[in-house]
Amino acid sequence: MKYTVDENGFYGRFGGAYIPEMLYPNVEELRLNYLKIMQEPDFQEELQSLLKDYVGRPTPLYFAKRLSEKYNTNIYLKREDLNHTGAHKINNTVGQVLVAKRLGKKRIIAETGAGQHGVATATVCALMGLECIVYMGEVDIERQAPNVARMKMLGATVVPATSGSKTLKDATNEAIRDWINNPEDTYYIIGSVVGPHPYPDMVARFQAVISEEIKAQLKEKTGSENPDFVVACVGGGSNAAGAFYHYLDTLDVKLVAVEAAGLGVDSGESAATSVLGREGIIHGSRTLLMQTEDGQVTEPYSISAGLDYPGVGPLHAHLHQSGRAIFESITDDEALQAVLELTRLEGIIPALESAHALAVLGRIGAKPNETIVVNLSGRGDKDLTTYLDRFELHGK
Give catalytic residues, as residue numbers.
89, 111, 377
Asked if residue 163 binds another protein (CB under 8 A), the reply is: yes
Contact 130, 107 (CB under 8 A): yes
Shortest spacing between CB 186 and another protein, in angstroms: 10
User: Residue 57 or residue 169: which is nearer to another protein going by CB?
Assistant: 169
Tally the C-alpha atoms within 13 A of residue 266's C-alpha that lie toward its C-beta: 0
Count other Cβ atoms within 10 Å, centred on residue 387. Answer: 17
Q: Indicate which single residue of 173, 274, 329, 375 sits in contact with another protein (rule: CB under 8 A).
A: 173
User: Residue 269 or residue 299: which is nearer to another protein going by CB?
Assistant: 299
Tell me which H or E stretch contains 337: helix 332-346
Determine the size of the site formed for another protein (CB under 8 A).
Answer: 33
Residues between 251 and 290 that touch another protein (CB under 8 A): 280-284, 289
Asked if residue 296 binds another protein (CB under 8 A), the reply is: yes
Choose one: 18-26, 94-102, 241-249, 333-341; the region binding another protein (CB under 8 A): 18-26
Asked if residue 54 binds another protein (CB under 8 A), the reply is: no
Q: Indicate which single residue of 295, 322, 385, 393 sits in contact with another protein (rule: CB under 8 A).
A: 295
Rounded to 5 degrees, φ, ψ at 127 are -60, -35
User: Residue 295 or residue 362: which is nearer to another protein going by CB?
Assistant: 295
Which residues on neighbouring strands pair with residue 376, listed in sequence order? 79
User: Residue 22 or residue 35: which is nearer to another protein going by CB?
Assistant: 22
**CB-based burial of residue 60 (10 Å sphere; 0-12 exposed, 13-18 middle, 19+ buried)?**
middle
Choose one: 24-32, 213-221, 248-256, 363-371; the region binding another protein (CB under 8 A): 24-32
Q: For residues 122 and 86, give the distance between their C-alpha atoms in angstroms, rounded to a whole number.
A: 13
User: Residue 22 or residue 145: which is nearer to another protein going by CB?
Assistant: 22
Choose one: 23-31, 33-41, 87-95, 325-333; the region binding another protein (CB under 8 A): 23-31
Asked if residue 190 binds another protein (CB under 8 A), the reply is: no
Which residues on neighbouring strands pair with residue 67, listed in sequence order? none
Residues 6+ apart with CB under 8 A from 269: 262, 263, 301
Q: For residues 274 and 310, give the distance between their C-alpha atoms in angstroms, rounded to a whole number.
A: 10
**CB-based burial of residue 226 (10 Å sphere; 0-12 exposed, 13-18 middle, 19+ buried)?**
middle
Asked if residue 169 binds another protein (CB under 8 A), the reply is: yes
Asked if residue 104 binds another protein (CB under 8 A), the reply is: no
Q: Indicate which single residue of 5, 17, 90, 233 sits in contact with another protein (rule: CB under 8 A).
A: 17
Q: Indicate which single residue of 15, 16, 236, 313 sits in contact with another protein (rule: CB under 8 A).
A: 16
Q: For residues 101 and 378, give the distance between their C-alpha atoms in angstroms, rounded to a whole number.
A: 27
Q: What is the CA radius of gyration of the chain?
A: 19
At 344, is the secondary structure helix, strand, or coil? helix
Choose one: 44-52, 161-169, 222-230, 334-342; the region binding another protein (CB under 8 A): 161-169
Tell me which H or E stretch contains 111: strand 107-112
Q: Indicate which single residue of 24, 43, 54, 387 sits in contact with another protein (rule: CB under 8 A).
A: 24
Shortest spacing between CB 333 and another protein, in angstroms: 29
Q: Indicate which single residue of 98, 176, 257, 303 sits in contact with another protein (rule: CB under 8 A).
A: 176
At 265, is the secondary structure helix, strand, or coil? coil
User: Residue 17 or residue 248: which is nearer to another protein going by CB?
Assistant: 17
Count other Cβ atoms within 10 Å, centred on residue 336. Answer: 21
Rounded to 5 degrees, φ, ψ at 11 are -110, 100
Asked if residue 369 binds another protein (CB under 8 A), the reply is: no
Contact 191, 353 (CB under 8 A): no
Q: Indicate which single residue of 19, 260, 305, 315 sits in contact with another protein (rule: CB under 8 A).
A: 19
**Which positions touch another protein (CB under 8 A)?**
16-22, 24-26, 163-164, 169, 173, 176-177, 180-184, 280-284, 289, 291, 293-297
